[in-house]
Amino acid sequence: MSNFDDIKTTPDESEILPVDKKNSPKRPKLNWRSNRKLRLGATATAITVVVVSVVVLINVICGILADRFPWTLDLTADQTYSLSEDSRSLAEAVSSNVKITVLFGEDYFSQPNTGTEEYDTILRQFYLFTEEYKTLSNGKITTTYVDLEKNPTLSASFKEKYDATSGNILFTCDDQYRMISLDDLLQEDMDYTTYSYSVTSLVEQKLATNISSVCGGESVTVTFLTGHDEDEDAITALKKLYELNGYYTQTLDFTTAGTISDTTGAIAIVGPTKDYTVDEIKRLRDWLHNDGNLGRNLFVFANYAGTCPNLYDFLSVDYGITVTSNIIMETDANNYPMDIYGSYPYLPLTTIASSDLTEAIAGQKIIMPLTLQLLTAKSSDTDKELLTNHALVAFPESTRLTALSDLLSAESNDDVAQVEADEYPLIGMAYARDYNVVNNKSVQNYIVVSGSCQFANYVTASQYDNESLAIEPLRTTCSLGDTVVISGKDLSAEMLSFSTLTAQVLGLGVFTLGIPLVLVVICLVVFFKRRHL
């Protein structure tokens, strides 16, 4: 037997004493109301739960509001990512449902990564502008992105119905539709005088023009007459500008076409070097006369590189505007274009004259290369009682006249003879207004003549106001009603950057110092509070 056998490991029942519950000491109850630590701990837990719940709720609400009312903070110096007041007014005035269908993936616009900053900006602009249009129109203007590469069935449908392919953008409202391409959202220019390259965003114009158009806005067609060896560069520049501002454009070979469509509101003859025939002049005259009803307009841009006696005689005899063979030369170096190296007196700078067609842009600076002098007739010199002539562009007394033949044959500018004019100012662009009264109602034609077609090549140059000179007379004579006119946004580096003050306030003041300082203060308050619990 082991020495441990006598040791009891389990007591007998007789050895177990009954517990006196009544007289046994009681365990104190925890009273949370009187226990400060417990009370504060519970309160902290409750506050944490409430705060977390509120944060979650705010996130949910903000997510819903962000979808309904998208908001962005535009920190660029010229508000690159914000709609202008004209566009905002257009969006708020839309009463019909407009659907914008982009035949491309949404990520390409919302998260652009083309590798070129300017192109990324344009895509991002389109995405943000369409979201803003949706908000301002109370959901009447919506945008849908359709990736045709992933939807071959839809691709065939769009191709059949609209002749649309990947990269096109459709604007539809009821039975009206317009279509543009991604390339239409920008304009690329190379300045060969300074060898600088620029990109201009046309996103806002394209959105405003096409939304207004499908909503029933007025439309005017400008017909460019061809077949006379015109200046193609000038035609291209003017067509782009007119289309940007809501006009339809078309070209018509006048050497083969029998008549001009009655739907044409204005005809543009841009830099012809081959003269018009007698028959063509008659057809042009008949169209303008419109059986006495007038209401039609003609824009002629002369070209120093060619002579057109029949065309110019028609302008002189019928409308009192004579195109001479004298080139306007500038002698004051202050009126030379500063962005072009060297002395070029045949590239004079001047300002837009005040007239009924240019009241809103009078005084703005323009460049008028190789301008042929115009002469305007007095009212008493014409056989049309209600015909009047007015200057649009005039040159000061510092200018001189040079015979075109001398300029073309001279080896240098120094060899060109320059003479003072008999009368100043010299006129480089003018218009005639022809009135008639039909059924007690006044009707009129406007004939605008420019001594330079080359000025159109500078309509995209931001340092000059040639764009205003090219579009304002058309807008005044061929009104589109409430159609908005919006200038392009230059996407140069300084335009895309933050303003200095904004960057300092937000970067240094808010993010670098403000938010960290607030967090440090909160942490210190919590720390000292908990130390005294």
pLDDT at 82: 78
Instruction: Please check whether residue 249 is in contact with residue 283, taking contact to mean a CB–CB distance below 8 angstroms.
Output: no
Closest CA relative to residue 112, chosen from 123, 102, 104, 98: 123
Q: Between vectors from CA 374 to CA 368 and to CA 376, what angle results, nearest 5°? A: 135
- 278: tokens are 């007698």
User: DSSP characters for 130-186?
Assistant: HHHHHHHTTTSEEEEE--TTT-HHHHHHHHHHH---TTEEEEEETTEEEEEEGGGGE
Would you write out the chain's pLDDT as a tens digit for each of its 533 residues? 444 455 444 445 454 455 555 555 555 555 545 565 656 566 656 666 665 666 567 666 655 555 555 555 444 555 577 788 888 888 898 888 999 999 999 999 999 998 888 889 899 999 999 999 999 999 999 999 999 888 888 888 888 888 888 889 999 998 788 888 888 888 776 655 556 677 888 888 889 888 887 887 667 889 999 999 999 999 999 998 888 777 889 999 999 987 888 788 999 999 999 999 999 999 999 999 998 888 899 999 999 999 899 999 999 999 999 999 999 999 998 888 866 655 678 889 999 999 999 988 999 999 999 999 999 986 445 556 678 899 999 999 999 999 988 888 777 666 678 899 999 999 999 999 998 888 888 889 999 999 999 999 999 887 889 999 999 999 889 866 544 555 566 665 444 444 444 445 555 555 556 666 666 666 666 656 655 55
pLDDT at 40: 58
**Residue for token pair 């460049």:** 367
pLDDT at 4: 42
Q: How many CB atoms lie within 10 A of CB 86?
A: 15
Backbone angles phi, psi at 94, to 5 degrees: -65, 125
Dihedral over alpha carbons 275, 279, 281, 286 (to 10 degrees): -160
pLDDT at 523: 61
- 175: tokens are 């039975």
Q: Is 437 helix (H, G, I), strand (E, B) or coil?
A: strand
Residue 150 burial (C-beta neighbours within 10 Å; 0-12, 13-18, 19+): exposed
Q: How far is CA 58 from CA 73, 206, 345, 353, in A?
A: 20, 37, 67, 58
pLDDT at 181: 87
- 281: tokens are 């002049």
Backbone angles phi, psi at 511, to 5 degrees: -80, -40
Instruction: Please check whether residue 310 is in contact with residue 450, taking contact to mean a CB–CB distance below 8 angstroms.
Output: no
Closest CA relative to residue 202, chosen from 459, 453, 463, 480: 459
pLDDT at 372: 96
Distance CA(65)–CA(84), nearest Å, equals 23
Closest CA relative to residue 287, chosen from 276, 271, 301: 276
**DSSP label of 30:** P
Task: Please name the residues in contact with 86: beta carbons below 8 A apart, sequence gap of 6 or more.
Answer: 208, 484, 485, 486
